[in-house]
Chains A and B, each alone.
Chain A
Amino acid sequence: MSNPRLRRHTTPLRRIARVLFGVLPFFFTACGDRDSSAVDAARQGVLLLGNNTEIQSLDPHKATAVADGKVISTILEGLVRPDARDSGAVLPGMAESWEAGTDARVWVFHLRSAVWSDGHPVTSRDFAYAYHRLLHPKFGGRYAEMLFPLRGARSFNRGESGWEHVGVRTPDDRTLVLELEAPEPQLLRRLLHFTWFPLPAHHVEKMGGMLDRRSLWSRVANWVGNGAYVPQEHRLNDFMSVAPNPRYWRAREVRNRGIRFLPVVNGYTETRMYFGGKLHISNNVPPEMLDYARTRAPQEFCRDAYYCTIFYRLNTTRAPLNDARVRRALFLAVDREALVQRVVRGAGKVAYGFTPPTADYASAADVNVQNMSQPQRERLARDLLAQAGFPEGRGFPTMQIMTTSRDVQRVMAESIQAMWVRVLGVPVEIRACEWTAYKAALQNGEYDISSCSWSGDFLDPATFVELWQTGAGNNCTGWGSPVCDEQLEAARRAADPQRRLACLAAAEREMLRACPVIPLYWSERTYMKSPCVGGWFPLLLDNHPLDAVEVKP
C-alpha cells in the first residue's frame, strides 16, 4: 500500500525543524479536518489490527508467541485453513483433498497446484522439508513437540533415530502421506497450527540451508511464502504490514488490500488508541476499562468465548498442599461468581472444571459442587480444612500466591487472598514476580500457589487434559496419578472419537478430584471492533482467517 500518510517520516532533523519553526500553527489548522488513521486506512481497504506484542520471528520454526502465529498464518498456508465462523471446522488449503486410513493412523493429502510467491511450485517435499527442519535435533526447534503425533518424530527429535524412520512420505510432488504414532481423529484441527506449515525448501536452502538458525530467509526483504499475503514492512514496536500476494491460489477471494499489525502491549493504550481512531480491531480491553468501553460503544464492544482457562497451580510437593483435603478446601473457598462479576468485570465464565466446554466436550466438573450455593461450599471447605488438622486455619503456615506483574493477575490474587482469609482464616501472601523470574520459578517448582492460564493450540480437550500426566513438562505441580495416566493412554489408543473423549473426561475427573489445580474461570476475549469491519465472527481459538475480513470506509 503506498499510502503517504501511513508512511513514516524518518529524518529526525527535518521533522523537528518542521514542527518547531512556524509550521506548528499551520499544521493544527491544516489537520483540523484530517481523518483519523482508521478512516484513512479503511478507505484504502487496509485493516489495522492490534496484535498484543512484538513478534519474535516470521520463521514458523523460531516463533512461539500467539502474536507471531497471527502474522505467520497470513503469509504461509498449511494443508488446511481455518473457517471464518467455526474454530472446529477446516477448509481445504494447500491440500485439495485428503483421506484417512480406517483407524485415522495414516493420512494421505493430495496437494493442489499452487506456487510460492517467487513462482516456484509448492510440492509435498516442501512439507517434508519443513517437518524435517523443525524436528531436527541440531536445529533446536522450540515447538517441535507439536509434531510428535508423527510416527518416530519424538525419537528423531531426541537424536535417537534417523529421519527415515519418521512417518512423513512424499510418493510424488503432489502427494503427502503422514503416518502417525497413534490414531488421531482430530489431526486436521492440529494442522491449522503454524508448526505444520510448509517452507519454501528451494529458498531456505539457497539462503543458508536447513539447519542455519541465523539464516535471513524469513526477513521481510527475502521472504518467500505461499499465504494470502506477503510481508511488506516491519518496524519493531511500531507495526508489521502485509500486502496481498498476487500469486496466492485464492488471490481473488482476499477481501482486503492489506493488514497492519500493531504491537500494542499496553491494553489501556490500545483501547485509547481504538477510540482515538488508530485501530479497526483491538486485541484486548483490560478489565479496568471494560465498563467504560461497554458504555461508550456498546455496538463495537466484543466479548467472545476463548479456549483458555484461568487457574491456580498448587505445588503438591509442599506441605500442607500435599494434602488433597487442604487443596480442596482452597478450591471450594473461592467465590467464583464474585470473582468473575466484580473483579474480572464479566470477562469470563465461572469454571469448576478445567477444560473449557466445547460442542463435543462437556465440562468434567463435579456437578454436586457446581450446584451448591457459595455458603454451602464454604462450609464444606471449613470442614475439610478442619479434618486436615487446621480448624479455622489455626496452625496453617503462610502460603505465597505467585503472580506475574500483570495488573489483572495481581488484583485477582488480592481478591482471592481476601476470600481465603475470610472463609478459612489461612494466612496468604502475594509474591509478584517479573515475567522471566515467574516462568523460572514455576518450571522449577519453586512456589506454593501460582496464578496461571492455559490456552489450547488447537480445538481438542487433550491439549488441556494431557498437562496432568505424571511428570509432563507443563504439569509443574508435582502431582500425578496412575488412574489419570491410564485414561490418557487409553485416549491415545482409541480410534473412536467418542471413546477417546470419554477417556479424556475420565482423566480430567480424576484430576479434579485430587485438585492439584484450582480452576477459576474460562476466559473470554474482550476487544473492540469497528463498524467498518465485516467478515469477522467470534472464534473460540481466535484464529481468524484475516483474508476473509473486509474493511469498508
Chain B
Amino acid sequence: MIRYMVRRLGQGLLVLFVLESLTFFLVHALPGNPFLGERKLPEHVLAQLNSLYGLDAGIWEQFFRYWKAILLHGDFGPSLVREGVQVSEIIMQAFPVSLELGCLAMLLAVVTGIPAGMLAAWRRNTRTDALLMFTAVAGICIPSFVLAPILGITLGAHVPGLSVAGWDNPLCILLPAVALGAANAAYVARLTRAGMLETLASDFVRTARAKGAGSGRILWVHALRSGLLPTVSYLGPAFAALITGSFVVESCFQVPGLGLHFVNATMDRDYFLIQGLVFCYGVLIVIANLAVDVCQAWLNPRLRA
C-alpha cells in the first residue's frame, strides 16, 4: 500500500507539472492583457509595465522563468492586478474560508445523501423511494444561482441569527453551505441508490441472504461496501471542487473564498493568480483522487491493483 501511494504521489507531481504548463499556455492565449484598463494605456506605459513583470520576454523564456521561481524559491509570483500582493498571500487568505465552507457543504451532502440513497434503495419502488428521489431530482434541477438568493431572502432575512449575505459572524457559513451542498446531496443520494440497487441484486448479497443473514446486516456490511463505489468516485473530485469554492454561491452570499478569485482573475487576466489557483486546485484534485482510490480499495478488495 505504501509503495502504491508513493507511486501515485509521483504521478501526482507529473499531473501538476502538465496541468500547470498547459494552463500557462492557455491563459496567455486569452485575448487582452492584465494591464488593459477602461481607458487606453499609452504604449510606453504598457511597455514599461510589461518589462517590469517580465511579460515582454518570449513565451518560452517566461515559461522557464515561471517554473524556476516555483522550483527554486517556491514563489508563485505577484498578482498583476493587485500590485504588491503575492499570489500565495491571496490564496492563503481565501483558502481557509473555502475550506471550511466546502467541508461543511460536503458533510451536509454526505450525511443527508447517503442515508437517503440507502433508504430509497432498501424501500425500492415504495412511496418513500419516490418521495426521496423526487426531492433529489428537484435538488439537482434548482441551480445554485436560484437556490442561493431564495435561501437568502427567505431564511436569511427572517430566521434570527442567519444572514442574507456577508461574512461577519460565525453563522454566516450556514446558508452558503446549504446552497453549495444541496445539489451534491442530491447527486450523492441518486448515486448511492443506484449503487445499492446494483449490489443488492448481485450474487454475493443473495448468497448472504440465503445464508440467513439479517436484513440490517446485509445492508450495512455487504451491500454498502460495494454499493458506495460510484458515490465515492463522484465524491473525490466533487470535494476538490467544493473546497476551491463556487463563484455563484460566493458572489450571492458575499463569501471571501477562492471561487471569486478564480473568476475575477480570469476576467482580469491576472496570469500568475490564475496559475496559482489552478495549482492549488490541482493539488487538491490529486489528493482527493488518491484518497478516493484508497477508499475504494478498502471498500472493495477486488479493486486493489
Direct contact of A and B (CB under 8 A): yes
A residues lining the B interface (CB < 8 Å) = 5-6, 8-10, 12, 15-16, 18-20, 27-28, 30-34, 37, 54-57, 59, 62, 64, 137-142, 144-145, 157-159, 213-216, 218-219, 235-239, 262, 264-266, 268-269, 272-273, 275-276, 278, 434-437, 439-441, 443, 473-474, 476
Chain B residues near A20 (CB-CB < 8 A): 104, 107
20 contacts between A and B (CB under 8 A): A15-B173, A27-B161, A33-B160, A54-B264, A56-B83, A140-B52, A237-B257, A265-B251, A272-B149, A272-B157, A275-B157, A276-B156, A276-B166, A278-B163, A435-B268, A436-B30, A437-B30, A439-B36, A474-B40, A476-B40
B residues lining the A interface (CB < 8 Å) = 30-33, 35-42, 44-45, 48-49, 52, 78, 81-84, 90, 93-94, 96-97, 99-100, 103-104, 107, 149, 152-153, 156-157, 159-161, 163-171, 173-174, 250-254, 256-257, 260-261, 264, 267-269
Chain B residues near A272 (CB-CB < 8 A): 149, 152-153, 156-157, 164-165
Number of A-B contacts defined by CB within 8 Å:
181
CB distance from B259 to the nearest CB of A (A): 10
Chain B residues near A159 (CB-CB < 8 A): 44
Whether B170 pairs with A238 at a CB distance below 8 angstroms is no
Whether A19 pairs with B171 at a CB distance below 8 angstroms is yes
With A141-B45, A269-B253 given, is the CB distance from A27 to B171 under 8 Å?
yes
Whether B41 pairs with A142 at a CB distance below 8 angstroms is yes
Q: Pick the contact of A436 from B78, B159, B251, B269 — CB < 8 Å? A: B269
Whether B161 pairs with A214 at a CB distance below 8 angstroms is no
Q: Pick the contact of A473 from B31, B42, B94, B159 — CB < 8 Å? A: B42
With A272-B149, A276-B157 given, is the CB distance from A137 to B164 under 8 Å?
no
Chain A residues near B161 (CB-CB < 8 A): 27-28, 30-32, 34
Whether A37 pairs with B157 at a CB distance below 8 angstroms is no
Closest CB pairs A-B (n = 6) = A276-B164, A31-B161, A140-B48, A12-B100, A436-B32, A238-B256
Known: A236-B94, A237-B260; 7 extra A-B contacts, CB below 8 A, are A12-B97, A31-B161, A37-B168, A236-B261, A269-B251, A276-B152, A436-B36
Chain A residues near B52 (CB-CB < 8 A): 140, 213
Whether A9 pairs with B256 at a CB distance below 8 angstroms is no
Q: Pick the contact of A12 from B31, B36, B99, B160 — CB < 8 Å? A: B99
| A27→B156 CA distance, assembly (Å) | 15
CB distance from B209 to the nearest CB of A (A): 37
The A interface is mostly helix, strand or loop, or mixed, namely loop
Q: Pick the contact of A268 from B82, B99, B149 — CB < 8 Å? A: B149
Chain B residues near A37 (CB-CB < 8 A): 163, 166, 168-169
Chain B residues near A137 (CB-CB < 8 A): 44, 48
Chain B residues near A141 (CB-CB < 8 A): 45
With A37-B166, A264-B254 given, is the CB distance from A28 to B37 under 8 Å?
no
CB distance from B37 to the nearest CB of A (A): 6
| A272→B157 CA distance, assembly (Å) | 9
Chain B residues near A237 (CB-CB < 8 A): 94, 250, 254, 256-257, 260-261
Whether B268 pairs with A139 at a CB distance below 8 angstroms is no
Chain A residues near B97 (CB-CB < 8 A): 12
Whether A278 pairs with B104 at a CB distance below 8 angstroms is no
Q: Pick the contact of B48 from A54, A138, A239 — CB < 8 Å? A: A138
Whether B44 pairs with A19 at a CB distance below 8 angstroms is no
Question: Who on chain B is nearest to A154 by CB?
Answer: B42
With A138-B48, A218-B84, A436-B32 given, is the CB distance from A64 to B37 under 8 Å?
yes
Question: Who on chain A is nearest to B153 by CB?
Answer: A272
| A9→B267 CA distance, assembly (Å) | 30
CB distance from A433 to the nearest CB of B (A): 9
Whether A158 pairs with B164 at a CB distance below 8 angstroms is no
Whether B104 pairs with A16 at a CB distance below 8 angstroms is yes
CB distance from A505 to the nearest CB of B (A): 24
Whether B149 pairs with A473 at a CB distance below 8 angstroms is no
Whether A273 pairs with B44 at a CB distance below 8 angstroms is no
CB distance from B43 to the nearest CB of A (A): 10
| A425→B44 CA distance, assembly (Å) | 45
